[in-house]
Amino acid sequence: MKKQVFFRADGSAQTGLGHLVRCLALAQMLQDDFDIEFVCMEIPDIIKQDIITKDFSVREIASENDFINSLPTDAIVIIDHYGLNVDFHKAIIAKDCKVICIDDLHEKEFHAHVIINHAPGISEDDYKALPDTKFALGPDYALLRPAFLEAAKTSEKKNKIKTVLICFGGSDYLNLTQKITAFVAGLRNDYQVFVITGAAYAFTEELSAYCAAYPEITHFSAIPEKQMLDLMKKSDLAIVPSSGIVFEALAAGCKVMSSWYVDNQREIFDGFRDLQAIIPLESFEDISEELFLNIENIETRQVIDGLSGKRLLQLISEL
């Protein structure tokens, strides 16, 4: 029988969907070799159905004790959750299970067998962990869905900017999508514009009405992976935050303009800026017409090779 892997992650309109999305990406990397179940307290129905469609099971729990008490021995538990601390790790280890933590803050102590952080510029010294902890750090371990990993192997450099993609992830509670869409529309540079919002976005009707007034702008809502990749591959420039979406845009070959607006995006932004992989904005308020007019003259580097799935599968299989 295959070894069991449990993903403990949550997502909502308030907390965002990034934890669930990157766990689903990792689950697909492991799918052929492990028996996988998602365990959640909060999960939007549309994400739940996406997980089930990809042949994974989903179990909703009322408390962490429900999960701990039901754990079999010798399983692997992959945690992507800011609210679960070292006591939770110890409880899992006490059940003779392995702990893997997906983390992008390194603010707390970890009792984990493996720590994954795909942000560039992070080192093992940034973590307070056990001496024998293994690390999977940087874009070589990018948590990307299979189609994006494949795209990264063949993506070509973009030069002319004719098509612009705008996406701020699954929830975008600040509605930065609307602000950036209005800015690009105001340039009147005849760009074709793809605006993509997620399952937890709360301003869909307002945005759709705005986009309908501009024939060059098309709004897409809660689209599947293949369509997202297709739109990115058609786009020359992607304007995205430094969250999981920036990895997807880079893998698809877009020239990427990015900034950050929540704490767990800051190090990803700093790292990709230092690698010269993105066109950095100190904030999305700093976007300017002058910068847009000069975008084609700004060189960026491709730093995602599409092989992270093989690396992570090998590392986790060795447990």
Residue 180 · residue 239 · CB < 8 Å: yes
Dist CA 268 CA 6 (whole Å): 26
Give me the torsion for CA of 194, 119, 250, 171, rounded to 10°.
-10
DSSP 8-state assignment for residue 35: E
Catalytic residue among 19, 81, 113, 219: 19
19 part of the active site: yes
For residues 23 and 9, the answer to whether their CB atoms sit within 8 Å is: yes
Contact 279, 300 (CB under 8 A): yes
Instruction: Please report where in the chains the tokens 């690009």 appear, as a residue.
Output: 184
Which strand (E) or helix (H) includes residue 88? helix 86-93
CA distance 177 to 196: 8
**Three-point CA angle 305, 307, 308, nearest 5°:** 105
Q: Which tokens belong to 174?
A: 């600040």
Binding-site sequence positions for substrate = 145, 248
CA–CA separation, 202 and 214 (whole Å): 21
Residues with a known catalytic role = 19
